[in-house]
Amino acid sequence: MQAILLKEAGDISQFQSIEIEKPTINANEVLVQTKALSINPVDVKTRLGKSFYTEFKSKYDPIILGWDISGTIESVGENVTDFKVGDAVFGMVNFPGYGKAYAEYVAAPAEHLAKKPINISHNEAAAATLAALTAYQILKRHVKPGDKVLIHAAAGGVGHFAVQIAKIFGAKVTGTASAKNIGFVESLGADAIIDYQKQPFETVAKDFDFVLDTLSGDTLYRSIPVVRKGGTIITLPSAGFTEEMVAAGKQNGVYIAFEMVESSGEDMKQIADWLASGRLKAEVSQTFPFEQLPLAHASLETGRTRGKIVITL
């Protein structure tokens, strides 16, 4: 099968297409023939030598990145009862860990997958994995009906799912976005949108119960004053999240924490239900064929992606 390996940390020239054997599966896994996969900021960070790179370099040769897949099952392990050969499935595989999703076939724990709704494409399903799970797992822990919620980068991968899921949970949602994405964020159901290019969000935002920060650093620090006493900020990037930030939050009575998504087939089933009903939609802004995966990385690295970038096989 074809796979794309990472030779060394660095730019997209470090990717190399190779022919390797199909993975073998254990009793609790399924072998998925990949139809689509999506990439995330963590993929880019790992490629650059950050995030999981050091761990992967010490354990695996070759290094194959990726976690988000949608495809059809080619074989099932002897302990797997929820899926059969031919089922269309999607999910985030072995995160945080070694997913090896940049490949034509992926060995995936059955407990990390859900059946793909028949009304959505493999491209849309692949898009609704790590980013959708991140939004869902965080929001279900911290948001309740009636809460005032601020979503930073509301047009982005995690952000566009977070707006929709927060609305499903009954929150009043404000999103930050650039002028070109205001209409898109409105279409997701946001109650209010702040054009961060027109004015600093902290000059108009106030008294939020919860903030989802997808940017960290300066944005995280500037978010503290807009949260009510007793409110919460959850940040996704670990970079820029410091003890000084936590201390500044405490001075204002605001809880600040970093949280990471984890693979969960049960949570994927909830996402699948919302996709099937139309309550949740995945925005696929760009698609690239498998052989152009490095170019997809370059596009994501610009930081201006709306929704998700998907790779087709």
Residue 26 confidence (pLDDT): 97
Least confident of 60-69, 167-176, 216-225: 216-225
pLDDT at 241 over 80: no
Q: How many CA atoms lie within 13 A of 268 on its CB side?
A: 26
- Can you tell me the mean pLDDT for 109-135? 98
DSSP assignment letter at 244: H
Residue 285 confidence (pLDDT): 96
> Does residue 228 come out as left (phi exceeding 0), alpha (psi in the -120 to 50 range) or beta?
beta
For helices 265-277 and 130-142, angle between their N-to-C axes, nearest 10 degrees: 100
Name, in order, each residue with C-beta under 8 angstroms of 294's C-beta and a sequence gap of 6 or more: 4, 12, 13, 15
Q: What percent of the chain has pLDDT over 90?
A: 92
pLDDT at 69 over 80: yes
Least confident of 5-9, 39-43, 262-266, 300-304: 300-304
Domains and CATH numbers, the chain: 2-128+282-312 (3.90.180.10), 131-258 (3.40.50.720)
Residue 90 confidence (pLDDT): 98
pLDDT at 291 over 90: yes
Residue 237 confidence (pLDDT): 77
- Can you tell me the mean pLDDT for 242-265? 92
Residue 231 confidence (pLDDT): 98
Residue 286 confidence (pLDDT): 97
Residue 154 confidence (pLDDT): 97
- Can you tell me the mean pLDDT for 284-306? 95
Residue 17 confidence (pLDDT): 97
The overall average pLDDT reported for the chain is 96
Cβ atoms 293, 15 nearer than 8 A:
yes
- Can you tell me the mean pLDDT for 206-227? 93
In this structure, is the dihedral angle defined by the CA atoms of residues 234, 240, 243 and 246, taken in order, positive or negative? negative
The two structure tokens encoding residue 27: 């009793």
- What pTM was computed for the model? 0.96
Residue 304 confidence (pLDDT): 82
Residue 216 confidence (pLDDT): 81
The two structure tokens encoding residue 140: 């279900």
pLDDT at 238 over 80: no
Residue 242 confidence (pLDDT): 82
- Can you tell me the mean pLDDT for 294-312? 95
- Can you tell me the mean pLDDT for 66-92? 98
